[in-house]
A and B are shown apart, each in its own frame.
Chain A
Amino acid sequence: MAKASAEAAAVVRVRIPSPLRSYTDGDAEVAVAIPVLAPEHPPSLAAVLAGLDGRHRGLRFRIVDEQGRVRPHVKVFVGGALAPDLTVPVPSGSEVMIVAALSGG
């Protein structure tokens, strides 16, 4: 069986909006390394967010509900493209951007 190693890890930069920086000690950007079997099999967005939550406990539930859906007023972009769900692949070196939309007062 193939074994994940440090060499076979996708490293993803995640941009954190201000409402979530209480979880990252104020950091606006966090690098997340996700073990992968091979570069041609990049991790999913779900795996990236699970890795992010492993380092910053509680963050994921604020943006993804218990049914695995991105919350209504949150958008997640992968490589500049809006991610319709958490199955989107996230190649190593790409950027994940979390946007939290405010409206009204």
Chain B
Amino acid sequence: MPRARTKPVSAPARPVTLYVATRKGLWTLASDPARRGFKLAGPQFLGHIVHHVVLDPRDGRTLLAAARTGHLGPTIFRSTDRGRRWHEASQPPAFRTGSGRTVDHTFWLAPGHASQPGVWYAGTSPQGLFRSEDGGATWTGVDGFNEHPQRKAWCGGDQDGTPDGAKLHSILVDPRDAAHMYIGMSSGGVFESNDAGAGWRPLNRGIRADFLPDPAAEYGHDPHCVRFAGGNPDRLYQQNHCGIYRLDRPGEDWVDIGTGMPKSVGAVGFPLVAHPREPDTLWVFPMDGTDVWPRVAPAGKPAAYRSLDGGRTWRRQNEGFPASQAWWTVKRQAMCVDGREPAGVYLGTTSGEIWGSRDEGRTWRCLARHLPHIYAMEAA
């Protein structure tokens, strides 16, 4: 049965803070209420590889940061005062002793359901799912996934050889039902649980996997980023290795919405972000997926593409971006939207630049440069 959509709300002007996770530490970029002026602060955790930093929307003050260094093992740092002071998790995500598996790094952090304060989820590389019930201080494996008899088959083995490590990402908790969750895995595909992670099933029908012997395989796909549509958790959008897709539940078949992208640009990319309130509006940032997959802005001309009709049509948005010779790469967690009106859209490049738009992508300007390789950005 179709579920009611969340009613759109107006958002008053107030400052935005971007939490910028980089290969060399954490920075913040804070705006004035009009989002005209931005001030950079940091670094924190200088020298740490910070994969993700997320502010808990339930209390507005708890921050978690997933970090490691080049030589030391992975951990989680947590702050309960918006990043003034940090404490290390006493029990970071780790696989069961005797399993033979080791967490290389925590890649994705997701606050739990609004009715469960203190609950967080973490996705790791290699693919593992972990849960905390104490605000990120201690973590335990979600056995329904980590110990699932099919887990190795879904993921293509314990270490599938992806150059930077296979990831469990895009942990989505249904805002109407704490037990209903989705995850994305590179490699593996999209999976759904209706019992708080006790059981999982693949949800990849309609998605091409042209790198597999069977392009219509049940699992083994490579979703890069999966998001709920704004205001409608019955709709999912996905940027995949093989295009852009939409799924309207309770349907089971993903619809290819990358076909409307210009052929010269293609439908390959890492990030995808959804408008905070408009379920038909989303953005992608295409990258070159031809030949040996350069994964940079096609032809060195960066552009976001926005759809206002659920992916049926797309419009190029590049006003303010360099017109040429800008070979940007934007990783899957390095594009985000704020909840303001109109929505702000932000992206961070692997070459350390942050670009933002306060008019839903119509115009862009550089907000910061000279930062390290940007892995992730979250707006709060």
Binding site for B on A (CB under 8 A): 19-20, 57-58, 61-69, 71, 73-74, 100-104
Contacts and interface: CB of A to CB of B under 8 A. Distances in A.
B325 interface: no
Interface stretch (B98-106, B209-217, B258-266, B310-318): B98-106
Nearest to A103: B70
Contacts of A71: 71-73
Contacts, number: 54
Contacts of A74: 71-72
A58 B95 contact: no
A61 B97 CA distance: 13
A33 B90 CA distance: 23
Interface string B87-115: 01010101111111111000000000000
A102 to B, nearest CB: 6
Given A58-B88, A61-B92, A67-B102, A100 B71 contact: yes
Given A57-B90, A58-B88, A58-B90, A66 B95 contact: yes
28 contacts: A19-B69, A19-B71, A20-B72, A61-B73, A61-B75, A61-B94, A62-B72, A65-B73, A65-B102, A66-B101, A66-B102, A66-B103, A67-B95, A67-B98, A67-B99, A67-B100, A67-B101, A68-B97, A71-B72, A71-B73, A73-B70, A74-B72, A100-B69, A100-B71, A100-B72, A102-B70, A102-B71, A104-B70
A35 to B, nearest CB: 24
A103 B69 CA distance: 11
B97 A73 contact: no
Contact of A69 (B72, B92, B102): B102
A58 B32 CA distance: 38
Nearest to A101: B71
Contacts of A102: 70-71
A19 B69 CA distance: 9
B102 A63 contact: no
Interface residues on B, range: 20 to 34
Contacts of B69: 19, 100
A19 B70 CA distance: 10
A102 B240 CA distance: 34
B264 to A, nearest CB: 34
Nearest to B73: A62
A-B pairs with lowest CB-CB distance, top 9: A66-B94, A73-B71, A100-B71, A62-B72, A65-B102, A62-B73, A58-B88, A71-B73, A66-B95
A58 B92 CA distance: 9
Nearest to A22: B88
Given A19-B69, A67-B99, A58 B94 contact: no
A90 B101 CA distance: 28
From B70, B92, B95, name the one whose CB has the most chain A CB atoms within 10 angstroms: B70
A53 to B, nearest CB: 11
B375 to A, nearest CB: 15
Given A62-B73, A67-B99, 17 more contacts: A19-B72, A61-B73, A65-B94, A65-B103, A66-B94, A66-B102, A67-B97, A67-B101, A67-B102, A69-B102, A71-B72, A73-B71, A74-B71, A100-B69, A100-B71, A101-B71, A104-B70
Interface string B54-96: 0000000000000001111101000000000000101010111
Nearest to A100: B71
A30 B315 CA distance: 61
Contacts of A58: 75, 88, 90
A52 B69 CA distance: 20
A95 B99 CA distance: 32
B46 to A, nearest CB: 12
Given A67-B100, A102-B70, A103-B70, A62 B75 contact: yes
Contacts of A63: 72-73
Nearest to B141: A66
